[in-house]
Structure 1
Amino acid sequence: MALSSFTTPSGFLLPSIHSAPPFFTEQPNPRTQAQFTAQWTRLILTYARHRKLFMLRVEDAEVAGGDWDEILRNERINRRILPSHLSSLLDTMVASEQAAFEPPKQSRAAIIYWRTPEEWADALHAWAVATGQLNTILTFYEIADPPVPSPLSGIPIPLLRRAVTFLVKSNRAQIISVADGEGVRLFAAK
């Protein structure tokens, strides 16, 4: 079978390497494995951005029909990534700061950084400026689940916290205690 790219039902273009059976198994040759790991990482990040997915769990390798099924399986060649291989990929992504285990102190689920926390901080600040939210106290929930969809809709609270931390360090935000948890006040850039 010739390697070929393929467009998934969600409109994502899979690279041709996705049709190579060895791509779905850990390789004994370290150089080959390093190349495949880099390609898997790029594939996971671009797919997460395409589908606006934030969480990847080792169990997703076993769930048929799940959010990640289009890339973790290739029914055309009867292959799927094994949970142990996906776990290894997540470890590598966390080590290179392209993901973070969530909750911390476990290694079965991770937030995928298809945007870095710094990029999310800039997106949050730009959203606050565009919507007139500067100097307004907003709960993390209001930002992550706004009444009008925004670029921040669905962002996990731990990732939002990391983004806010960058804004606090640059004097563009302040964390505020509110009745139902934490909030943030965003300031104009200085």
Structure 2
Amino acid sequence: MSTTLAPYTLPSGFVLPSIHSGPPFFTQQPSPSSRKIATDNWTRLILSYARHQKLFVLRTEDADIPGGEWDDVLSNPRINRKIRAPHLAAVIAHMVATDQAVYDPPNQTSAVLLYWRTPEEWAQVLYDWASSTGHLNTIMTFYEIVEPPVPSPLSDLPLPILRKAIAVLAKSSRAQVIAVADGEGVRFLTAPPGR
């Protein structure tokens, strides 16, 4: 039976690229040039799927969880293939090395926070949200930002990513970290002229 390399649309609406239909994609390639191409494709696929599904965490063990939140990408039952944990660990290491993910918690290499938006992009999303919801020049807790009463693009954003976004805003004088009674907070400042 021959396999046709073609995109495939998942029930969620996410379109798997045609390379996902090729059995070699799921095998760690011995040739450095082939391995780089495959790793770059895995990286793009993982980040685009994470963005589509609003997933922030990827673990090497996700390769071994049938029916898990990553199963649609990390396996292809139509060709009876799945990525193995060591191969996924190599992809994750590449993502960390290229600033597309960060090990979280630090000092381990099996779980990462994914940067499907860079901290700078999250900073802009955060500032635009604060501005559009009337939160400039007010103090908000980190909890209020990631668990808002009305869902927002920041809902469920992991705190390490939120902290990095706030640090970007603080560097450009658009935010100030404030100690509040129940943890950390931030005051969003009106952007200086020229920003």
Instruction: Give the TM-score band, short-chain normalised.
Output: over 0.9
Deviation at 1:181, TM superposition (A): 1.0
Matched residues in 2 for 1:82 and 1:114: separation?
Answer: 22
Counterpart secondary structure, 1:135: coil
Taking the TM superposition and a 5 Å limit, the aligned residue runs for 1:9-158 are 9-158=11-160
Superposed structure 1 runs of 4+ greater than 6 Å apart = none
| Matching of residue 183 in structure 1 with residue 194 in structure 2 | no
Give the CA RMSD over aligned residues: 0.6
Deviation at 1:135, TM superposition (A): 1.2
What is the percent sequence identity of the aligned residues? 59
Matched residues in 2 for 1:178 and 1:103: separation?
Answer: 24
Q: Which residue of 2 aligns with 1:166?
A: 168
Matched residues in 2 for 1:180 and 1:105: separation?
Answer: 28
Deviation at 1:114, TM superposition (A): 0.6
TM-score calculated relative to the size of structure 2: 0.96
Unaligned runs of 5+ in 2: none
Cα deviation code 1:59-86 (max 9, x no counterpart): 1111111111110010000001001111
Unaligned runs of 5+ in 1: none
Cα deviation code 1:49-107 (max 9, x no counterpart): 11111111111111111111110010000001001111111100010000111111111
Q: Which residue of 1 aligns with 2:9?
A: 7
Q: Which amino acid aligns with 2:189?
A: F
Matched residues in 1 for 2:65 and 2:34: separation?
Answer: 27
Matched residues in 2 for 1:65 and 1:10: separation?
Answer: 14
Deviation at 1:158, TM superposition (A): 0.4
